[in-house]
Structures are given as C-alpha cells and as structure tokens.
A and B are shown apart, each in its own frame.
Chain A
C-alpha cells in the first residue's frame, strides 16, 4: 500500500490571478511530520490554504492527492470530513459566535464529545469558551483556541500555521504539549498514524515537538529538504538566501 498520505504534485496556486506557488512537489508519509520554513511571503500559508480548500486560493496546475484521491475540487468541509485539519496564524474574529458553539461542531467531526472538558482544561481555555471566537483574545489565547479546535476535530492530517508566533514562554509549553498529542509525537515512531505540516518561522516549537524533516519554501517553490535542525542552524547563521543557495548546490 501507498505509504504517502499526502502527495502534492506539480502544484501551482494563484490568488486573484497572481501566481504564488509554482511547481510544488511534496510527499508526506503516514506518521510523518514536516517542518516548513521560509521567509515571509514565500508561500507557506498559501500552500496550507490551498490544501484546506480556500476558494480564493486557486489551483491552476497540478494535483493534491490525499489518501489516494485528488481533493483539489472538494469543498473545505468535505476535506475536513476526510481528516484534514488546519490551525491558522491569524484566524478571523467572529462577533456574536461563541467559541463553545464552534468547538461543539469540532467535537462532532472528531467524535470527541467526551473529551471537551479534558482538552479545554489542557489548553487552559475555561474562561474563553463562552466568549466570542477570537474577539479580544491575546496572541497566545488565539493559538490555544486553534489547537483546542484541532484536538477536538482529531484530524489525520494536521496543518499548523505558525503555532508558536506571538506566544509567550508560559504558553509555549502548553501549545507544545497539545501539538505532541495532535501529531502523536508522544508515541513511538511505528505507532504514529497522524501526519502533518508545521510552519514555523523561528523553529521555537521544535524544541517541544520534533519533526521528521524540514523543508524550505522560497519564492513559491520548494527549495530545500533536509534535517530540520540542520536547516534551522544554517538559516540562523547565513539567512534564507544563502541557505537556499547552499542547498541548491548540493541537490
């Protein structure tokens, strides 16, 4: 059987007619987590949005094959039902809609109705679930809210867009804990069934959750694949441009 749970093949994505991603190829196996690096505007979030099915992010070329099926024409909620979950870097603030209402839907999707209280507690969300979604939430609270929703949805393929940005020291450990559960990084390698992509700018979250490998996205293309810690070290030392140049030479 095919070990690849997600195959992004020659993917091209445009927004309002402007090409953002070109010829992106990525294969992710069952049980694997990939760390996605890249400078601002390189197309990292675009890739996640296209996989999640945002209608504004148009696939003009290539395929997104999830569990053997091309999902690029499916609606976002259909993709969710197939097991794809996303947490946003900057989710919208929704006045009048209580977070409790939304997590009820998440729990229904994930079949985790009995875990609501446990996860609310784990993510220290007791005082936030009866508030309007993300309205007046701090940076850390937004990330915790996103992870609470994902934990309850219990997706097989997890996409996390900068779960560590704008999060203070106190929150990062809680978030790391939640991501470990989400991606089954707390289990031995051979038992892991969940896969995912973590976008991280600073790599801070990798101190809490390990990734199987790292990928650099640069100017809308996959520019580099390697050990995530090596990539991080090289980027820290030389910057993205130099790192990519070194990579391309060795590829």
Chain B
C-alpha cells in the first residue's frame, strides 16, 4: 500500500504521527510493534516491557483471563503526578496476517493524567483482530481513552478490555465505530473503588452485513463510586446488540445508563440495559429508546430552508452528539472529526 493512503487510513482513526500534536506515537503493523516517539510517558512493546520489568507480572493477565498465547502490543506508563499535555496515540494495523493478537497494558500512576487515542484499522479485507487491554488507573489519576475503529467489511474484531479504577480515579472511555465490519463483539468492564468514576460513551453504526454486539459494564464496588454509560446506535441494514450493565455493590453508588438507537431504513437493534444491586443504598437508573427520525423535526428544519437531506443529516449528527463531561478540547475535535466521517458514510 502506498505511504500516502496508509497515512490517510491512519488519520481517519485519529493517528497523526506528529510530535507537535502528540506526546507519543506507537504503531503495530500485524504483529510488529514500533514506537515512533515519546515524551514524558513510557511506551514500549508489551513483550519488551515484560522483559524489562519483573513487577509487570502483577499487572499482566490480572484483569482478563488468559486464553491464548503469543501476544504483543503496547505498554504505557505515566509516572506519578505527571499530567500529559498532548494525547498519546497507538495504532493497531492489520496488514497481511490472518490473526492479529494484541495485548496492551496501560498504567496511569497516582495523581497523573493521560489522554490515549487508539485507532484500529485494516488493509486486509478479511482477518481477525483480537485485542486485550488491561487498564490501571491509580488513586486520583485520570485516563481518557478514545478508540476509533475503521474496519473492512470482512474483518472480525474481538477486543476484551478491563479497567481497574482506584480511589478518586476517573476513567472516560469513548468508542466510535466508523465502518462496516463483519463481526464485532466487545464488553469492556470497569471495576471501581471508593469515589472512583467511569464514563463510557459509544457511537456505533451498523451497516448491511455487519453484526455488532457491544456493551459496557461497570462494577461499582467502592462506596460513592459512580458510572455513566451512554450509547448511540444507528443501524442501516446491520444487526446491533447494544448492551449496558451496572452493578451496584457498595454504599451510595450512583449509575445511569442511556441506550438510544435509530434505525435508518432497515436493520435491527436490540438494546439490553441491565441493572443489578446488592446494596440497598444505590441509585441506578436506565433509559432505552429505539426509533426513527421524527418527521416533525425534519419538517421544522425544512421550514428553515434546509432540504430534506440536509435536515436528515443534521438530525443524525445531532443524534450522535453526546456531551461528554471532562473531555479535553483536543479529543473533542478528534471525536467530531470521526462523527463527520460517520455522517458522510451514512448519507
């Protein structure tokens, strides 16, 4: 593939490879990891990191059960008290091989902050991407993790992610799926300690012949912990299962789940919001809705001079607009750009 179109592919998923815009850049083509540059944060391939640090065994395959062997990926560690200004980017690129097996470990030490953008994309029309990510957000730390996926029609994508958030820690997860994909199944799960907070937002589009089973799950294990799960699913001929699961296990935990779906023309959406509590003093709620674009809204915008297509486009855009609290401006721009691509693909 020519260098230019690789660059374009990477840009689509938020990968700039530009030191003036990113703190660090990592790319893994097939099973070959490579660090382009890094400032402030430590970034290595997982295999290297495991060789370098004995203590990393305490983190590796501890949140997620090991099922297969031979994995590599990225290891990122933000030292104590460091607030990384520019985002760190990591790209997983499926080029030639049939199976890409990825294992990532991210550690954000106490009182530090990191914005991590990962983009996954494929040159190959088919192939399986299996990505394991283990996140550790320590006390008072904050991690904003934004993942943009752009697959080919016959890719199968099976990420497994788990996140441990310690006292007063914050984890914000944004996920955007831009493209058709044969099969995608993921159910990232966060475990919250005292006063910790997690926010999951996802925007997914299911095109024809795509099957997507995506959800987010949060265990509110520490008192006063809180969680929010927001998902927007648009089906245009695809099959989408939108899940969400909040489990309240401690005093004064709070959680809200919002699952909204829109069917454009044809397709199916199955929303499965779940709430579970083992403590009487919890406040968990959910709302789920599936529908089409309201005719009155289209008409309203048409009487403001928009054509029918322009009105529909603006309304779809509005549907995907999620206000994510605490999201840095630079990431908001990346997400807006990704949403624009979704919009283009839809209309």
Contact = CB atoms under 8 A, between A and B. Distances in A.
Given A96-B317, A96-B319, A80 B302 contact: yes
Contact of A96 (B295, B306, B308, B318): B318
B304 A149 contact: yes
A209 B310 CA distance: 35
Contact of A77 (B306, B317, B318, B320): B306
Given A96-B317, A96-B319, A96-B320, A153 B297 contact: no
A141 B245 CA distance: 38
Interface in A49-82: 52-56, 75-77, 80-81
Nearest to A152: B304
B305 A109 contact: yes
Given A94-B315, A97-B315, A56 B295 contact: yes
Of B294, B297, B303, B321, which is in contact with the most chain A CB atoms at under 10 Å from its CB? B303
A92 interface: yes
A80 B300 contact: no
B318 A109 contact: no
A54 B305 contact: no
Interface string B192-212: 000000000000000000000
B302 A77 contact: yes
Interface in A8-63: 52-56
Interface string B34-62: 00000000000000000000000000000
B300 A91 contact: yes
Interface in A158-183: none
A244 interface: no
B317 A76 contact: no
A129 to B, nearest CB: 14
A108 interface: yes
Nearest to A86: B303
B318 A54 contact: no
Given A94-B315, A97-B317, A153 B300 contact: no
A92 B297 contact: yes
B4 to A, nearest CB: 33
Given A97-B317, A97-B318, A92 B296 contact: yes
Nearest to A101: B314
A65 B244 CA distance: 54
Contacts of A91: 300
B291 to A, nearest CB: 12
A106 interface: yes
Contacts of A95: 318-319, 321
Given A94-B315, A95-B318, A105 B296 contact: no
A248 interface: no
Contacts of B306: 77, 105
Of A96, A106, A108, which is in contact with the most chain B CB atoms at under 10 Å from its CB? A96
Of A53, A95, A97, A153, which is in contact with the most chain B CB atoms at under 10 Å from its CB? A97
Contacts of B321: 95-97
Contact of A80 (B295, B304, B315): B304
B299 interface: yes
A56 B301 CA distance: 15
B304 A105 contact: yes
B279 interface: no
B307 interface: yes
A106 B305 CA distance: 7
Contact of B318 (A55, A75, A94, A153): A94
Contacts of B301: 94, 102, 105
Nearest to B306: A105
Contacts of A106: 304-305
Given A80-B304, A81-B305, A106-B305, A94 B297 contact: yes
Of A56, A75, A85, A105, which is in contact with the most chain B CB atoms at under 10 Å from its CB? A105
Interface in A104-131: 105-106, 108-109
Interface of B: 294-297, 299-308, 310, 314-315, 317-321
The 8 closest A-B pairs by CB, nearest first: A96-B318, A96-B321, A109-B305, A97-B318, A76-B302, A77-B302, A80-B305, A92-B297
Given A80-B302, A105-B304, 19 more contacts: A54-B299, A75-B302, A76-B299, A77-B306, A80-B304, A80-B305, A92-B296, A92-B300, A94-B315, A94-B318, A95-B319, A96-B317, A97-B314, A97-B315, A97-B318, A102-B301, A102-B304, A105-B310, A132-B318
